[in-house]
Amino acid sequence: MDFEVIYPNIKKTSLAMLRVRTVFGLIFLAAAVACPVVNIAVGGKAWSVIVLWALYMIWTLVLKAPLVERNLISQGVRLSVMTGILLILIDRLLYPGWAAFVVPIVAYGALIVLAILFFVNVSKQRHNVMPLVIVTLAAAIGSVVAMLAFSEVNWPMIVLAVTAGVLFIATVLILRTRLISEIVKRFHMK
Amino acid sequence: MAKKKNKQTELNKVLMGLTEDERGRVDAFFRTVDRHLRIGREWKRQLIRDFESALVWYLRNGVALSDALERLSPTHLGGFYSRPADDWFPLDAAAKVYPLSMSHKQMAVFRLSMYLTEEVAPELLQMALTFTIKRFPFFATTIKNGFFWHYIDAAKRRFPVEPESTVPCADINVSFTGAKSFRVLYYKNRVSCEFFHILTDGTGGTVFLKSLVAEYLRLRGTAVPPGRGVLDVDGLPDAGESADDFSKYVTGRKSSGFVDKPAIQMGGKLSAVKPCQVIHFDVSSDALRDAARARGSSVTALLTAMIFICCKAAMDRQHGTVHIQVPVNMRSYFETRTLRNFSLYANIHLKVEEIRELEDILPEVTRQLQEGVRPEKMQEMMNGAVKLVRSVRLVPLFIKCPVARVVYGFLGDRAFTTTLSNLGVVDMPEEMAAKVKKMDFVLGTVALSRAAVSVVSANGTATVSVAKLTTDPSFEERMYALLKGLGLEVKVTGSDLYGF
């Protein structure tokens, strides 16, 4: 059956990313199985949990990035939250006693960077604002709850609470009714 | 930057040939264009450049300045780019599954193409898209994550036309801010639109493509009156066109499920590039219809029966059931103006051992098809779809997504061997028909189905397209033999193998 070719020569189809994902997927899978086995066999601290979380971070942030809404703000929020969890895991499972001080510093640093990304181009980034609003609100509430729960209140927690609170109020003031319509869209059940 | 300078020089060069008065009119024209564009600086710059390129094209092709300015009049922009993007649309009941089930390897994309009698002028096609998009506000959108469901959010930006440079129905990157969910491509005399299925189905896509091409033809100097599926792109969008009519017509009575027994699959190694080849069979639509009538069946039933034989030819296994999914346009049953998804499907199945000659299986296929598309059956399926959507509406998206991917992986693709989507005869105004040779319609492939078949008829030519997922040529070779066996004259076109 002969036929006439009516499609152009296409750019060499890039299978590189597909191959990279497959190779890394196998390596990650091997590591995800091997680490807990070795950890259980050798005993000691549960370091394999940290390895598993780090693998998951790289997988979801780099190799299998989200298919919907992958933008600077949403990826920044994901990176910040995941880094916070990683630090808490290291604190809890390996070397305890510093996370209550370091995590708020990392968190307010991340909030400042995200705020800069948002305020530099409000007209474009207002479409991506929801992850920022949620993480800001969570950070403000979280830091206040932590201050009330812990007997010892440190300055990074206070700075985080203030930064998150100011950022949240500024976002609400700038977006006003648009924030409400954004909430309506995000939580619709139609 | 250098390109921009070249373009400016090109426009300036053309302007140098004009009189002082004409240059003044061009200046006034661009001031008016500027007043219509209240969007981001980069988009605005690109849109103005599109106007400049189109004007240069006109003046270089001997069109009088006044005529060129009239055709490009910024009034065709309406207020679309003057207002911020505030609108949004929930996904219709049929579309909800597509973002839930999509993966890095799989996206539901389909393609509609129109072959014109002349080579496409990209500058004018770009302007045609810029003028057309305002009439289809739910196309000028970007997909977003909600807490419970995805939704499409208005996006005011330049929607570019692109030369073909990827495989047909390639995945569309919908992830970045303002990302579009469709693409308009051109190659020689062909204009193609590829849609992510969340936006529309084949019927809605056809209306968009026809309206786009009609606007393109107007810019080339052939006025095409609205009607016969061509919308007036300067008219106001109709809310009914973007409505989810599944919810409107659901009765809440008897409903049917979607789960079916797994189907037997064709053989052949699955290709990494999807699709790895596209083949088109062009036949006379009248001759095809006559061949079906002579056998007491419809074109869809005849082609479905042929596909059963092709499937058998493309597999070694001799036991199991071949299932063919046949999309059914619900517009045939319900009064609607919607251009969103409004189709369901019938599942036609035969045991492999029952598949013999065309004449042997055609009566059974015709019977199943008539049974499968009964209005009561469609109503039950629609009730089932809406019921399913409503039952999981309170489940957060971050739970729905992974669950849907697993369920779809187990049930969705395995439930059928292949698909036959027949768009039917595409009607168009005479002015347009005179400039269009034919159309084709290509379904994006799914994970397991080695061949997906689609059909559309326009201007007397029925084009049967096969999108392949394996290098095994048995399917299309058998299809060719069967079409020839009907006494039809068959012209075969297609693509080379991709990724090999």
pLDDT at B283: 98
- All residues of chain B having their beta carbon less than 8 Å from the beta carbon of residue A9 are 496
- All residues of chain B having their beta carbon less than 8 Å from the beta carbon of residue A10 are 164-167, 498
The arithmetic mean of pLDDT across residues B284-300, rounded, is: 96
Closest residue on chain B to A67 (Cα):
B175
Domain B249-494: assigned CATH number: 3.30.559.30
- All residues of chain B having their beta carbon less than 8 Å from the beta carbon of residue A128 are 177
- All residues of chain B having their beta carbon less than 8 Å from the beta carbon of residue A117 are none
Closest Cβ–Cβ partner in B99, B477, B494 for A68? B99
Closest Cβ–Cβ partner in B104, B175, B279 for A69? B175
Closest residue on chain B to A71 (Cα):
B176
Quick check: helix, strand or coil at residue A104?
Answer: helix
The arithmetic mean of pLDDT across residues B202-213, rounded, is: 98
User: Of B175, B181, B244, B482, which to mutate for an interface test with A (greatest number of A Cβ within 10 Å)?
Assistant: B175
User: CB–CB of A8 and B151 under 8 A?
Assistant: no
User: CB–CB of A127 and B177 under 8 A?
Assistant: yes
Pick the residue with more confidence: B10 or B359? B359
User: CB–CB of A185 and B168 under 8 A?
Assistant: no
pLDDT at B35: 94
Quick check: helix, strand or coil at residue A4?
Answer: strand
Q: Does A8 touch chain B (CB under 8 A)?
A: yes
Q: Does A176 touch chain B (CB under 8 A)?
A: no
Closest residue on chain A to B89 (Cα):
A185
Domain ranges of chain A: 96-190
Per-residue confidence band for B104, with pLDDT thresholds at 50, 70 and 90 = confident
Of residues A177, A3, A153, the one with CA closest to residue B483: A3
| Angstrom distances, CA of residue B396 to CA of A64, B100, B168, B453 | 21, 12, 34, 35
Tell me the backbone φ, ψ of residue B162, rounded to 5 degrees.
-135, 145
pLDDT at A15: 67
User: CB–CB of B153 and A1 under 8 A?
Assistant: no
Give the whole-angstrom CA distance, residue B163 versus residue A150: 61
Encoded tokens for B463? 């084009």
pLDDT at A12: 65
- Smallest CA–CA separation between B21 and chain A, in Å? 39
pLDDT at B325: 94
B-contacting residues in A 126-165 (Cβ below 8 Å): 127-128
Q: How many CB pairs under 8 A join A and B?
A: 118
- All residues of chain A having their beta carbon less than 8 Å from the beta carbon of residue B272 are 15, 18
Single-letter residue type at B264: I
What order of strands is seen across the sheet that includes strand B161-163? B161-163, B182-187, B190-196, B109-116, B436-443
Per-residue confidence band for B1, with pLDDT thresholds at 50, 70 and 90 = very low
Encoded tokens for B464? 């049967």
Strand partners, B306: none
Closest Cβ–Cβ partner in A11, A15, A67 for B175? A67
User: CB–CB of A189 and B99 under 8 A?
Assistant: no
- All residues of chain B having their beta carbon less than 8 Å from the beta carbon of residue A78 are none
Closest Cβ–Cβ partner in B85, B168, B494 for A5? B494
How does pLDDT run across A22-55, given as a tens digit for each residue?
A: 888 899 999 999 999 999 999 999 999 999 999 9
- The segment with the largest mean pLDDT, out of A13-27, B410-424, B469-483, is B469-483
User: CB–CB of A10 and B143 under 8 A?
Assistant: no
- Smallest CA–CA separation between B494 and chain A, in Å? 5
The arithmetic mean of pLDDT across residues B382-399, rounded, is: 91
User: CB–CB of A181 and B90 under 8 A?
Assistant: no
Closest residue on chain A to B271 (Cα):
A15
- Smallest CA–CA separation between A141 and chain B, in Å? 20
Do A104 and A156 form a contact (C-beta atoms < 8 A)?
yes
Pick the residue with more confidence: B8 or B411? B411
- Smallest CA–CA separation between B177 and chain A, in Å? 6
Per-residue confidence band for A57, with pLDDT thresholds at 50, 70 and 90 = very high
The arithmetic mean of pLDDT across residues B174-184, rounded, is: 93
How does pLDDT run across B295-336, given as a tens digit for each residue?
A: 999 999 999 999 999 999 999 988 999 999 999 999 999 999
How does pLDDT run across A101-128, given as a tens digit for each residue?
A: 999 999 999 999 999 999 998 888 888 8
- Smallest CA–CA separation between A42 and chain B, in Å? 34
pLDDT at B9 over 80: no
pLDDT at B402 over 90: no
Percent of chain A whose pLDDT exceeds 70:
97
How does pLDDT run across B71-88, given as a tens digit for each residue?
A: 999 999 999 999 988 899
Per-residue confidence band for B258, with pLDDT thresholds at 50, 70 and 90 = low
Listed range (A93-97, B32-36, B102-106) with the worst mean pLDDT: B102-106
User: CB–CB of A188 and B149 under 8 A?
Assistant: yes
The arithmetic mean of pLDDT across residues B480-484, rounded, is: 97
The arithmetic mean of pLDDT across residues B3-25, rounded, is: 79
Closest residue on chain A to B102 (Cα):
A67
Give the whole-angstrom CA distance, residue A128 versus residue B125: 31
Domain ranges of chain B: 1-72, 249-494
What SS3 string covers chain B? Answer: CHHHHHHHHHHHHHHHCCCHHHHHHHHHHHHHHHHHCCCCHHHHHHHHHHHHHHHHHHHHCCCCHHHHHHHCCHHHHCCHHHCCCCCEEECCCCCCHHHHHCCCCCCCEEEEEEEECCCCCHHHHHHHHHHHHHHCCCCCEEEEECCCCEEEEECCCCCCEEECCCCCCCCCCCCCCCCCCEEEEEECCEEEEEEECCCCCHHHHHHHHHHHHHHHHHHCCCCCCCECCECCCCCCCCHHHHCCHHHHHCCCCCCCCCCCCCCCCCCCCCCCCCCCEEEEEEEEHHHHHHHHHHCCCCHHHHHHHHHHHHHHHCCCCCCCEEEEEEEEEHHHCCCCCCCCCCEEEEEEEEEHHHCCCHHHHHHHHHHHHHHHCCHHHHHHHHHHHHHHHHHCCCCCHHHHHHHHHHHHHHHHCCCCCEEEEEEEECCCCHHHHCCEEEEEEEECCCCCCCEEEEEEEECCEEEEEEEECCCCCHHHHHHHHHHHHCCCCCEEEECCCCCC
Tell me the backbone φ, ψ of residue B202, rounded to 5 degrees.
-60, -40
- Smallest CA–CA separation between A62 and chain B, in Å? 13
- All residues of chain A having their beta carbon less than 8 Å from the beta carbon of residue B166 are 10-11, 13
User: CB–CB of A123 and B499 under 8 A?
Assistant: no
Q: Does A189 touch chain B (CB under 8 A)?
A: yes
- Average pLDDT score, chain A: 90
The arithmetic mean of pLDDT across residues A136-146, rounded, is: 90
User: CB–CB of B104 and A64 under 8 A?
Assistant: yes
pLDDT at B367 over 60: yes
User: CB–CB of A1 and B151 under 8 A?
Assistant: no
The arithmetic mean of pLDDT across residues B267-284, rounded, is: 93
How does pLDDT run across B113-133, given as a tens digit for each residue?
A: 999 999 999 999 999 999 999
User: CB–CB of B496 and A7 under 8 A?
Assistant: yes
